C-alpha cells in the first residue's frame, strides 16, 4: 500500500508542478508578447467572439499558437470545400490574429470575401460591400503588419485590376462607378493636383491629403512618381490603383520571381489603361463611359517591350513571343484609335513604327488611310453596299453623340471616318475600289437622315442631350 500511496503522491505533486509551470508560462508569455509587439516583431491581439476554450488555449499555450492556427486552418479548408464561405470568415479572423505574418491567410481570406461571398448576392451594392471588404482586409490590415511582403502588394493590385477592372463580374460597372466616386471626392475632381496633395495650400486640400493617407493608404508623392513613369493616368479607375500598388511593392522585391510578377501586373494594367483608361462623365444622365487613353501610347508600348525583354531574360521564350504578338496587335489598335480620334500625325508616327517593328506582319505599301478604313471593312466586306451604308451612318451617329457630350476629338474623328469610307467606296480617292456598283447615297443626305433621327423626340436622344447637340451645331 505504501508504494501505491507514494506513487499517487508523486503524480499529484507532478500535476501541481505542471499546473504551476503552465500558469507561470502564461504570465511570462504575456510580457514576452508585449516586448515582441513593442519591437515590431509580432502582434498579439485578443480573439474576439471566440469560444472560451479557444481563448484559454491561446493564453496558456503561448508559443504554441501556431498549432492552434494550423488546426483552425484545416477546418477552414474543409469549410471551403463544403462551400460554407460565410462561416469561414470568423475562422480566418482568428487565424490572422494568431499568425498575422503568414500572408497566405490574408490572401485566402480576402479572396473569400471578394470572390466567393460577393457572388452570393444579386444586388450590386451588396456585392460591392464584400468586394471592398476584401480590398480593405489586405490594404488596411495585412499590409499594416507585413509592410514588406511583396505577395500582399501583388494580391492587392490584382483585386483592383481583375475584380474591379475587368468585366467578368456582372456588377463590374457598379464597382467602377463606386470606386470612381470615392476617388473623385478625395482627389478633388478629375486629374489630381499632386503638388497640392503633397503640400496642401489650404484646409480643403489638407483634408483631402489626410483622407488619401488615412483611408486609402496612398502617398501623393509616390502617386506623382507613378504618373510620371506610366501616365498621364486616370486615377479614378481601378487599373491605376493596381499599377500604384505594384510600384510600391516593387520597392520591396528580393527575388527575380517577385519582380516579374509585379511587372506582369503593371503590364496587364497598362493594357487596360490604354484600351479603356479614359473616364467620360455624362452629366446629362449621371453615368460614366470609358474610352481609350491615347496619351499613354508610348508608355504602354514600352511596357510591352519591357515585358518581352524580361521574359526572354528569364528563359521564357514562349511567353515572350506571346507578349510580342500582343504588342503587334496593340500597335494596330493604337494606330486605328488615334486615327478615329483625329490625331492623324500621331497615327502616322505609330503606323510607321508598326511597319518597322513588325515588317513581316504589315503591308509596307499600305497607306494610313487604307489601313484605317480596312479595319472598318474587316467585318463589313468590301463590296456590300448595305454594310457600307451602315458603317457610314454609324460613324455619323457617333460623331453627333460625341459632339453633344463635348468630345470634339471623337466627333471630328468619326466624321472623318464616314467621309473616308464614302470616298473609298465611290472611288473618289486613290487606290479605292473600282468597277461598276450601286452608288451610295450622297454623304450629306445620310448625315441629314442621321441628324433627323437623333433629334426625333419619340425615338432619338433624350431631350437634354438633343438640346446640347443643337447648341453644338449652332
Mean pLDDT of 415-444: 70
Backbone angles phi, psi at 216, to 5 degrees: -100, -10
Cross-strand bridge partners of residue 282: 287
pLDDT of residue 54: 46
Can you give the pLDDT at residue 23? 61
SS (H, E, C) 276-337: HCEEEEECCCCEEEEECCHHHHHHHHHHHHHHHHHHHHCCCHHHHHHHHHHHHHHHHHHHHH
Tens digit of each residue's pLDDT (9 = 90 or more) over 342-364? 788 999 999 999 999 999 888 89
User: What are the extents of the domains in the chain?
Assistant: 139-291, 304-363, 368-473
Which has more confidence, 197 or 78? 197
What cell numbers appear for 473 in the block?
451645331
Q: For 107-130, what is the mean pLDDT?
A: 93
Name which residue leads in pLDDT, 459 or 164: 164
Q: Quickly state the pLDDT bin for 384 (edges 50, 70, 90).
A: low
Percent above pLDDT 70 for the chain: 78
Q: Could you tell me which of 82, 109, 79, 83 has the C-alpha nearest to residue 94?
A: 109
Give the residue-averaged pLDDT of 8-37: 62
Cα–Cα distances (Å) from 168 to 121, 165, 279, 369, in that order, read 15, 9, 19, 35
Evaluate if residue 434 carries a pLDDT over 50: no
Q: Kindly report, residue by residue over 146-189, the tens digit of the pLDDT.
A: 999 999 999 999 999 999 999 889 999 999 999 999 999 999 87
Which pLDDT value is given to residue 22?
Answer: 59
Its sign, for the CA torsion 7, 13, 17, 19, is: positive
- Give the residue with greater pLDDT, 43 vs 14: 14
Segment 326-336 mean pLDDT? 93
What's the pLDDT score for residue 299? 96
Amino acid at each position: 500500500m505504501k508504494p501505491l500511496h507514494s506513487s499517487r503522491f508523486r503524480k499529484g505533486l507532478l500535476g501541481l508542478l505542471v499546473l504551476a509551470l503552465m500558469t507561470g508560462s502564461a504570465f511570462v508569455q504575456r510580457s514576452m508578447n508585449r516586448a515582441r509587439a513593442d519591437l515590431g516583431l509580432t502582434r498579439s491581439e485578443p480573439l474576439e467572439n471566440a469560444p472560451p476554450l479557444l481563448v484559454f488555449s491561446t493564453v496558456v499555450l503561448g508559443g504554441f499558437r501556431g498549432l492552434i492556427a494550423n488546426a483552425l486552418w484545416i477546418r477552414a479548408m474543409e469549410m471551403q470545400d463544403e462551400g460554407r464561405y460565410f462561416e469561414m470568415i470568423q475562422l480566418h479572423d482568428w487565424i490572422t490574429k494568431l499568425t498575422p505574418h503568414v500572408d497566405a491567410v490574408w490572401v485566402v481570406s480576402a479572396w473569400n470575401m471578394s470572390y466567393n461571398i460577393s457572388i452570393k448576392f444579386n444586388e450590386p451594392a451588396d456585392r460591392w460591400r464584400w468586394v471592398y471588404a476584401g480590398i480593405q482586409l489586405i490594404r488596411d490590415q495585412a499590409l499594416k503588419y507585413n509592410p514588406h511582403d511583396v505577395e500582399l502588394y501583388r494580391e492587392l493590385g490584382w483585386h483592383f485590376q481583375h475584380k474591379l477592372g475587368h468585366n467578368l463580374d456582372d456588377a463590374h460597372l457598379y464597382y467602377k462607378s463606386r470606386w470612381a466616386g470615392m476617388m473623385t471626392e478625395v482627389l478633388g475632381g478629375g486629374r489630381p493636383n499632386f503638388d497640392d496633395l503633397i503640400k496642401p495650400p489650404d484646409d480643403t486640400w489638407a483634408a483631402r491629403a489626410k483622407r488619401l493617407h488615412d483611408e486609402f493608404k496612398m502617398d501623393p508623392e509616390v502617386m506623382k512618381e507613378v504618373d510620371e513613369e506610366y501616365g498621364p493616368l486616370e486615377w479614378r479607375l481601378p487599373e491605376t490603383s493596381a499599377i500604384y500598388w505594384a510600384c510600391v511593392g516593387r520597392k520591396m522585391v528580393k527575388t527575380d520571381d517577385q519582380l516579374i510578377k509585379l511587372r506582369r501586373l503593371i503590364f496587364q494594367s497598362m493594357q487596360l489603361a490604354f484600351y479603356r483608361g479614359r473616364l467620360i462623365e455624362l452629366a446629362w444622365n449621371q453615368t460614366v463611359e470609358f474610352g481609350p487613353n491615347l496619351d499613354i501610347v508610348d508608355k504602354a508600348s514600352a511596357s510591352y517591350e519591357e515585358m518581352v525583354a524580361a521574359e526572354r531574360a528569364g528563359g521564357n521564350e514562349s511567353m515572350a513571343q506571346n507578349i510580342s504578338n500582343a504588342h503587334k496587335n496593340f500597335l494596330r489598335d493604337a494606330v486605328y484609335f488615334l486615327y478615329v480620334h483625329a490625331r492623324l500625325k500621331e497615327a502616322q508616327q505609330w503606323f510607321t513604327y508598326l511597319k518597322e517593328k513588325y515588317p513581316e506582319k504589315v503591308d509596307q505599301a499600305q497607306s494610313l488611310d487604307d489601313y484605317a478604313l480596312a479595319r472598318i471593312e474587316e467585318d463589313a466586306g468590301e463590296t456590300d453596299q448595305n454594310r457600307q451604308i451602315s458603317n457610314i451612318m454609324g460613324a455619323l451617329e457617333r460623331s453627333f453623340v460625341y459632339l453633344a457630350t463635348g468630345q470634339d476629338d471623337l466627333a471630328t474623328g468619326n466624321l472623318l471616318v464616314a467621309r473616308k469610307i464614302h470616298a473609298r467606296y465611290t472611288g473618289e480617292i486613290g487606290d479605292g475600289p473600282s468597277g461598276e456598283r450601286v452608288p451610295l447615297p450622297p454623304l450629306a443626305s445620310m448625315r441629314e437622315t442621321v441628324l433627323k433621327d437623333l433629334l426625333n423626340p419619340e425615338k432619338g436622344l433624350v431631350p437634354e442631350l438633343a438640346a446640347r447637340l443643337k447648341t453644338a451645331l449652332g
